[in-house]
Amino acid sequence: MATSSYFSHNTSPAERTLLNSLIVESIQIMGMDVNYLPRSQNNIDSIFEDAERNSFTTSYTIEIHLGDDTIEGFGGEGDLISRFGVEVRDTVQLVMAQSRFTDVITAADATLTKPREGDLVYLPFSSQLYEITFVEDQIPFFQLGRNFTYQLECALFQYSDEELATGVAAIDSVETTYSYSIDLTMSAGGSGTFTTGTTIYQGTSATDSSARGEVVSWNSGTRVLRVMNIQGDFTTGVAITDGTATWTLSSFDDLTLPTDKFAQNIEVETAADSGIVDFTESNPFGEF
């Protein structure tokens, strides 16, 4: 038996518009603004179906509401210590109006027709960067015959030297905080001030250089330049410049990982160098 033609709960455009407006308004009243960061997958590996280096260079501000699973706090396994250090396995459930996604994000980038797994969401209130692991677009289930929200299942981002250049300082600082970086100590007598975000190099130019990197910070008092996105091998006694400031590299130790609080590369090396390992013994198959 077909449904009754005298009753129709699922086809009224006016009711759908009203419901959508109520959803949008309730999120705008009770929700919060977050940053939506679409992922750019660079150098896609056609065998392993992965991107060698991902980048996030655009940020869209959009309002969300915390989902049912996150009303009393973040989900997931929380903070734990594993053999790789402290992990924070927080998860969060975010609810976003479909129409607002279209209005804000699709309008700016027509390729983004809906939230995508792998894109990031930055929560300003907790200063956390979440990765969308799954987009549920059927909850609530076809009210008035349509779905009006996206429910984003998100997990705290597992950072692996991805490029973050959104122009939002709080987001971009994740890259400078967690990327592999080294500290370069300069000799006295240099000139100028290195600027965060600029490219420094040893050589005739940034494109014709033996080594280069991106400035994370510059301490003129200690003459320590921290760089990330490193290419090539730096050489002591050779000038480093960004085209304006020029200082001569005095010393550095690439085993010291200043942005990694778990690493012990330098501690292990220092202990071994103090006499535990005899590096004078040669091995045709290795350095030891």
Partner 1 sequence: MLGKTFYNQSIRKILVAFGTIFNNINIEREKADGTIETIKIPLAYAPRARFVQRLNQTFDPTETEVQQTWPRMSYEWTDISYDSTRKLNTMQRMSNVYITLNLAGIPTGSFITGEKVTGATSSALGFVVDQPTNTTIALMDTTGTFTDGETITGEYSGETAVLDASTSTTTNANRISYRYERVPYNLSLQLAVAAKTTEDGLKVIEQILPFFTPEFTVTIRDVVKHDMPVLLSSITQDDTWEGDFTERRFIIWSLDFEVKSYLYGPSKNSNIITKTITQIYANNDLNVTDFTMDTGGSGTFRVGEIVYQGTEHLLASSTATVTSWNSSSRVLQVTGIKNTFDLTEKVKGSESGAEWILGSTSTLFESPTSTALGTAAARIVQEPDPTTADADDKWNVTTTITENP
Q: Report the interface residues with partner 1, using CB under 8 A.
A: 40, 42-43, 45, 48, 50-53, 55, 79, 81, 83-91, 117, 127-129, 133-134, 153, 155-161, 163, 174, 177-178, 180, 229-232, 254-255, 257, 260-265, 268-269, 271-272, 274-278, 280-281, 283, 285-286, 288
Q: How far is the CB of 226 from partner 1 (least distance, A)?
A: 14
Could you identify the residue written with the tokens 């960004």?
Answer: 242
Q: How far is the CB of 281 from partner 1 (least distance, A)?
A: 4
Q: How far is the CB of 255 from partner 1 (least distance, A)?
A: 6
Tokens representing residue 16 in the block: 């759908």
What is the C-alpha to C-alpha distance for residues 67 and 162, in angstroms, rounded to an integer? 28
Q: How far is the CB of 153 from partner 1 (least distance, A)?
A: 5
Q: How far is the CB of 82 from partner 1 (least distance, A)?
A: 8
Contact (Cβ atoms closer than 8 angstroms) between residue 230 and residue 182? yes
Q: Which one, 222 or 231, has the nearer CB to partner 1? A: 231
What is the C-alpha to C-alpha distance for residues 123 and 29, in angstroms, rounded to an integer? 17
Half-sphere exposure of 176 (CA within 13 A, CB side): 19
Q: Which one, 72 or 281, has the nearer CB to partner 1? A: 281
The answer for residues whose C-beta is within 8 angstroms of residue 199's C-beta and 6 or more apart is 206, 212, 213, 214, 215, 242
- Residue 134: which of 152, 121, 112 has the closest Cα? 152
Q: Which one, 139 or 272, has the nearer CB to partner 1? A: 272
Q: Which one, 8 or 288, has the nearer CB to partner 1? A: 288
- Residue 240: which of 222, 225, 255 has the closest Cα? 225
Q: How far is the CB of 209 from partner 1 (least distance, A)?
A: 10
Q: Which one, 147 or 180, has the nearer CB to partner 1? A: 180
Q: Which one, 224 or 257, has the nearer CB to partner 1? A: 257
Q: How does strand 239-241 pair with strand 246-252?
A: antiparallel
Residue 273 DSSP symbol: I
Element housing 156 (H / E): strand 149-156
Q: Which one, 133 or 195, has the nearer CB to partner 1? A: 133
Neighbours of 273 (CB within 10 A): 10
CA angle 162, 167, 169 (to 5 degrees): 85
Q: How far is the CB of 276 from partner 1 (least distance, A)?
A: 5
Q: How far is the CB of 55 from partner 1 (least distance, A)?
A: 6
The answer for residues whose C-beta is within 8 angstroms of residue 146's C-beta and 6 or more apart is 16
Q: Which one, 15 or 163, has the nearer CB to partner 1? A: 163
